[in-house]
Structures are given as C-alpha cells and as structure tokens.
C-alpha cells in the first residue's frame, strides 16, 4: 500500500511538473514571438523613413550584420531589392502572406519555418507611400529550439522536484499509514480511537469479525470436548455391562437386563452421532439446499400425527389448529424443525398437560407456534438452550434421552430460512416458541 501511494504521488508530481513546464514554454514562446515582431516592426518603421534607395541599401548592410534581411517588393510583387540575394533572380513575392497583408492593410507579419527545424523566419512588412512594400526578415529560434535550450535546466529542476516529491511522498505515506499499522498491531486492545473517523465502521467490522472468529474457535473446542464427554458416558456403560456378562458373573435375568442397558446406550450413541452429523451438515455453508413451496400446515399435521403415540405415552395431548399456509423452504429441514419443537413440548411437559401447534398467516408472513403447558424454562437459561449440548436439567433431559442438540439444529434451520424465532416461557406454566417465516 505504501509503495503504491508513493508511486502514485511521484507519478502525479512528475506529470504536474512536466505539463507546467510545457505550458510555461508555450506561454514564453508566445511572448518571445511578440517581442521579435515588435522589434522587426520598429526596424521596418525606421527604414521607411528613408526615401533614398542608396540610404536604404546602406542601412540594410548594417542590418545584415545583425542577421536581418531587407527586401523591397514592388506593387506587382516583383522583388526590387534584396539585401542578401540578387533581386532579379528572385521569384514574384506578390503571394507571400505578409506582403499580401501589407498591401491590403498597410502592415503585415508572418512566421515561416526555415530549412532547419530549430529556426523560424519572422517577417514584418510595411506598405510605402509609393505602393511598394518594405519587408524585414529575421531568423529566430523556433519553439522546439527554445524548448530544447530550456530542456537541460528544466530537466535539472524536474529531477530535483521528483527527488523532493519522493522524499515528501515517503514521509507522507508513512504518516498516513502509521495509524493503520498501529491499529493492526493492537486489534485486541479495546480502543476504538483511530485518527481517521472514516475508518471507524471498517475497524468495528474487523473487530467484530475478529471476535466472532475467536468465539467460533472457542465454541468448536467446547463442542469437541462436549462430544467426547457425551460419547464417553454410554460407551462406559456398554463396556461395563459387557464386562459383567463376559466374566459369567451375571445370572440369566441379569444378562437380559444388561443387554437392555447395552441396547439403550447404543441407541443413545446412535442418536447422538446422528445429531452431530446433522449439525455438521448444517454447518457446511457451501452446500446448496434446495428450497421448494411447502404447505406448512400439512407438514405440521404429519408431525403431530407421528408424535401422537409418543404424547400418549407421556400422558400429554397434542393438537393442531390454524389454516393452510405456504412457505419456501427445505422439506427435510422444516420437518426436523417441527419434530424437534414438538418433541421438546411433549418431553418437557407434565402428566395431563397439552401441546398446541398453530399455523397461521400474519402481515404477509407465516407464523408457527408450538405451545406447551410444561415445566417452563428459567429466565437465566432461556438464551443458552440453543447452544449445543446445553440442557437445563441434565438429569431429566438425559433420562428422556435428550442430547441437547435439538434446539441447536432448530437454530441452524431457522437461520438457513431467514426466519425469526421468539421464545416465551415461565417456570411451572409452560413454554411457547414462535417461528416467523418471511413471505
């Protein structure tokens, strides 16, 4: 970045200097040209004072020493006299612009290239009273030669300025970049202050992202620890039961009991692993999920029917109300969401309690509520139940086979569907979870 700014600054300075010089040369040349004409005009005017041809010749010889050439052109364009060449052999000058102009207006001027590029010939012509035209010509530097002559000094100035610019650019960029560099070094420090207020939103964004990354890393680590711990418990009991059977110490009845223990522990391991696989699938954001039009009411109905037996076992009634509503979503995910919410509402309910599922439209959105009359969730736990492996009452949840991953999965699904979730719960009274699908 520094190098880039540096290079740009030097480039801008060089261009600016170059164009300034070019402009100065042009302006200067214009002045110079005006001056040359002014001088030529003065000489010509003086010369017109002499009537006598011999006098003109004399003065012309003098002027020649200063590289000025005097020409007298007759009314018909024929050269009557020339201080440098033989007038008789010269072609008709009646068409020369300065002569034409002088004939018409009394005075005329022109510049023409000489044989060399570096010189121009300046002409000034004045009409005499007798109708002939007197002209003085002088070679003077062309714009190229003037630029060429100025070039070495221009070059020196340019060089000096570029060096100056480079030093300044270096100094300026260091100064510009310093606060940003300082910031990059102390991203963790909680100072929001930067010398550039334009950068403040950018910095807070980076800080936020930085914190998110740290939090994510911590969560992943916790997750791994939790997974290992969760897997360990059922495996330990499987191993324990198996060992008892292996040693032959268990009676026939015990073997059946232990086998049951092994079976349920193995089932628990399976659900756990399934949930973990599901979560990591949902984590993979690259994977495109296919969305389709879904009848939420119908899906809820299927779910309620499927869980009816389970509810009966818990002595809980479950029913669905509302109207047909369509949402755009992934079928499998929505089924999972419904299952997890209803399953919790049954599982954390009291005997004789009820679960009511409702699907209805509201302000162009579709609302799903799952309401139970269960044990409720204490305020301090309400935010955390969506974390992986988080359970309010470890023993109760475990006895019902919960792993604490259900709501974590629900949260993921909701995020994938750009939906919103609200939780209202009171201990002893029950819990209501509301999911709002946009459009």
Residues binding Mg ion (CB under 5 A): 344, 406
Site for ligand ATP in 250-289 (CB under 6 A): 275
- Confirm or reject binding of residue 404 to ligand ATP (CB under 6 A): yes
- Residue 71 contact among Mg ion, ligand ATP, none, beta carbon within 5 to 8 Å by kind: none
- Residue 374 contact among ligand ATP, Mg ion, none, beta carbon within 5 to 8 Å by kind: ligand ATP
**Distance between the two ends of the chain, CA-based, in angstroms?**
46
Q: How many angstroms separate the CA atoms of 61 and 24, rounded?
A: 37
Query: Between 185 and 204, how does the x/- string for binding to ligand ATP read (CB under 6 A)?
Result: --------------------
**Can you name the residues that pair with 47 across neighbouring β-strands?**
none
- Confirm or reject binding of residue 405 to ligand ATP (CB under 6 A): yes
Q: How near is the Cβ of 284 to ligand ATP at its closest, in Å?
A: 20
Q: How many angstroms separate the CA atoms of 202 and 343, rounded?
A: 44
Quick check: 364 and 435 in contact, CB under 8 A?
no
Return the SS3 of 240. Answer: helix
DSSP code per residue over 373-411: -S----HHHHTGGGSTT--SSHHHHHHTT--S-HHHHHH
Q: Which is nearer to Mg ion, 153 or 399 (CB)?
A: 399
Of 373, 322, 325, the closest CA to residue 352 belongs to 373
| Contact with ligand ATP (CB under 6 A) among 71, 132, 356, 397 | 397
Q: How far is CA 227 from the centre of its chain?
A: 40
Of 136, 107, 108, 134, the closest CA to residue 49 belongs to 134
Structure tokens, 290:
């296919």
Q: Which is nearer to ligand ATP, 50 or 386 (CB)?
A: 386
- Confirm or reject binding of residue 353 to ligand ATP (CB under 6 A): no
Structure tokens, 238:
């499987």
Only segment of 153-161, 171-179, 194-202, 369-377 that touches ligand ATP (CB under 6 A): 369-377
Residue 136 has phi, psi (to 5 degrees) of: -120, 135
- Confirm or reject binding of residue 403 to ligand ATP (CB under 6 A): yes
- Residue 78: which H helix or E strand, with range? none
- Residue 135 contact among Mg ion, ligand ATP, none, beta carbon within 5 to 8 Å by kind: none
Q: How near is the Cβ of 351 to ligand ATP at its closest, in Å?
A: 15
Query: Between 320 and 349, how does the x/- string for binding to ligand ATP read (CB under 6 A)?
Result: --------------------x---xx--x-
| Contact with ligand ATP (CB under 6 A) among 127, 402, 419, 437 | 402
* C-alpha dihedral (175, 178, 180, 181), degrees to nearest 10: 150
Q: How near is the Cβ of 328 to ligand ATP at its closest, in Å?
A: 25
Q: Which is nearer to ligand ATP, 424 or 436 (CB)?
A: 424
| Contact with ligand ATP (CB under 6 A) among 372, 412, 413, 417 | 372
Quick check: 359 and 323 in contact, CB under 8 A?
yes
Only segment of 106-114, 140-148, 291-299, 389-397 that touches ligand ATP (CB under 6 A): 389-397
- Confirm or reject binding of residue 407 to ligand ATP (CB under 6 A): yes
- Confirm or reject binding of residue 226 to ligand ATP (CB under 6 A): no
Q: How near is the Cβ of 226 to ligand ATP at its closest, in Å?
A: 12
Return the residue nearest ligand ATP (CB atom): 406
| Contact with ligand ATP (CB under 6 A) among 238, 385, 413, 419 | 385
Only segment of 152-160, 177-185, 255-263, 371-379 that touches ligand ATP (CB under 6 A): 371-379
Quick check: 25 and 150 in contact, CB under 8 A?
yes
Site for ligand ATP in 121-150 (CB under 6 A): none
**Can you name the residues that pair with 326 across neighbouring β-strands?**
295
Q: Which is nearer to ligand ATP, 36 or 359 (CB)?
A: 359
Return the SS3 of 439. Answer: coil
- Confirm or reject binding of residue 68 to ligand ATP (CB under 6 A): no
Q: Which is nearer to Mg ion, 238 or 377 (CB)?
A: 377
| Contact with ligand ATP (CB under 6 A) among 140, 374, 414, 417 | 374
Q: What's the CA angle centered on 396, arms 394 and 400, to 5 degrees?
A: 115
Rg over alpha carbons for the chain, rounded to the nearest Å, is 50
Q: How near is the Cβ of 282 to Mg ion at its closest, in Å?
A: 15
Q: How many C-beta atoms surround the C-beta of residue 18 within 10 A?
A: 12
Residue 375 has phi, psi (to 5 degrees) of: -75, -20
- Residue 39 contact among ligand ATP, Mg ion, none, beta carbon within 5 to 8 Å by kind: none
Q: How many angstroms separate the CA atoms of 21 and 17, rounded?
A: 6
Structure tokens, 318:
């479950």
Residue 232 has phi, psi (to 5 degrees) of: -65, -40
Q: Interface with ligand ATP by CB under 6 A: which residues? A: 275, 340, 344-345, 348, 372, 374-377, 385, 390-393, 397, 402-408, 431
């Amino acid at each position: 970045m520094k190098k880039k700014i540096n290079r740009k600054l030097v480039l801008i300075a060089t261009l600016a200097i170059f164009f300034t010089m070019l402009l100065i040369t042009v302006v200067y040349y214009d002045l110079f040209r005006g001056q040359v004409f002014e001088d030529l005009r003065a000489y010509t005017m003086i010369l017109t004072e002499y009537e006598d041809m011999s006098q003109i010749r004399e003065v012309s010889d003098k002027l020649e020493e200063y590289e000025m050439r005097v020409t007298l052109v007759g009314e018909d364009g024929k050269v009557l006299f020339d201080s440098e060449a033989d007038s008789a052999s010269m072609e008709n000058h009646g068409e020369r612009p300065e002569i034409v102009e002088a004939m018409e207006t009394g005075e005329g001027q022109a510049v023409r290239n000489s044989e060399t590029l570096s010189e121009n010939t300046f002409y000034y012509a004045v009409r005499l009273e007798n109708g002939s035209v007197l002209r003085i010509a002088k070679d003077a530097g062309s714009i190229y030669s003037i630029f060429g002559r100025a070039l070495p000094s221009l070059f020196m100035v340019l060089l000096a300025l570029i060096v100056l610019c480079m030093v300044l650019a270096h100094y300026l960029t260091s100064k510009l970049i310093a606060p940003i560099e300082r910031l990059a070094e102390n991203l963790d420090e909680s100072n929001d202050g930067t010398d550039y207020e334009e950068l403040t939103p950018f910095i807070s964004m980076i800080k936020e992202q930085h914190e998110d990354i740290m939090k994510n890393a911590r969560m992943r680590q916790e997750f791994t620890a939790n997974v290992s711990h969760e897997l360990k418990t059922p495996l330990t009991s499987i191993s324990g039961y198996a060992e008892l059977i292996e040693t032959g110490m268990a009676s026939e009845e015990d073997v059946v009991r232990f086998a049951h223990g092994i079976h349920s522990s193995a089932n628990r391991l399976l659900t756990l692993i399934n949930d973990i696989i599901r979560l990591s699938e949902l984590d993979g954001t690259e994977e495109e999920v296919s969305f389709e039009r879904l009848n939420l009411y119908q899906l809820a109905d299927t779910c309620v029917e499927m869980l009816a037996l389970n509810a009966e076992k818990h002595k809980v009634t479950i029913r669905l109300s509302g109207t047909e509503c369509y949402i755009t979503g992934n079928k499998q995910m929505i089924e999972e969401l419904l299952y997890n919410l209803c399953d919790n509402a049954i599982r954390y309910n009291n005997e004789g309690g009820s679960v009511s599922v409702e699907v209805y439209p509201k302000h162009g959105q579709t609302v799903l509520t799952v309401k139970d009359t269960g044990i409720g969730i204490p305020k301090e736990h309400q935010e955390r139940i969506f974390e992986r492996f988080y359970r309010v009452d470890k023993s109760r949840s475990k006895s019902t086979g919960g792993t604490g991953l259900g709501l974590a999965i629900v949260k993921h699904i909701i995020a994938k569907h750009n939906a919103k979730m609200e939780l209202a719960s009171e201990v002893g009274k029950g819990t209501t979870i509301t999911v709002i699908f946009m459009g």
